[in-house]
Structure 1
Amino acid sequence: MKTYRLTFEQFLPTTLDKAWDYFSSPFNLAEITPSEMAFDVRSPLTKEDKMFPGLIISYKVSPLFGIKLNWVTEITHIKDKSYFVDEQRFGPFAFWHHLHQFQEVDGGVLMQDVLHYAIGWGPVGILANEMIVYKKLNHIFSFRQQKVEELFKPE
């Protein structure tokens, strides 16, 4: 099974406390996901709920062609104000490991996402990645970057 890696970085002109407070709330993920994905957190969470190791989060999502899928992730690792990892337990990928890192830098926070994923299905999965999945993931993270710029723009 072929595994892929994508890395995205973004500077946030905010404090580490504010960045961590926002991104450590699983409820906020829907806000930074493109609306055409119909991303819906199904777990009973609020904006005040924070991640913890072992947290299971259920979603409904329409990644392609309006087809709604169940997606379940687990928060497997957290180091407060430094990083957390979500891993797919059930969903559209054969493998999904998403590391979110936060580093305080001069004037703000450097946020980095490192995503490892696999589609499975042998040559069909490789073709699907080349034709659809890679582009879709880049679109999602590009949208996320724009939305995060709006949310954390300097006042």
Structure 2
Amino acid sequence: MKKSVDPSLLNGLALAYLGDAIYELRVREHLIQQGQTKPNVLHTQATTYVSAKAQARLIEALLEGNFLTAGEVDIFKRGRNAKSYSKAKNTDAQTYSYSTGFEAVMGYLHLTGQTQRLEELVSWCTGKIEEEKQEGAS
């Protein structure tokens, strides 16, 4: 028998733990659908989407653009404010906490079955990263 968990009662780090995997899976699917097939290229490209710095930039843009619902902002804050016992790798504490908040939103949307909304945000995020890449290439 599958045990049911109420996503609204989970702490921000638990939501982020799942959200990290969900977002990375969606990014990997996106890259493969774009025609990428070489594992080393896939990995390198995926890191531009899933790094803490990229996720922090994305959540800041989502917040500034008022793209998140009030409930999603609350989940972001729960993840951002969670006390992590691991240290940020290759980034500062604020970037790491924003990234954790971003991942918490992804995890929450997945756990609550809001697949369409999750896909909408992931699509927006991948488009934003691609836009940044294009601007960097010009």
Q: TM-score, normalised by structure 2?
A: 0.38
Q: Which has the higher strand share?
A: 1
RCO (CA 8 Å, sep 6+): is it higher in 1 or 2? Answer: 2
Q: Which has the higher helix share?
A: 2
Q: TM-score, normalised by structure 1?
A: 0.35
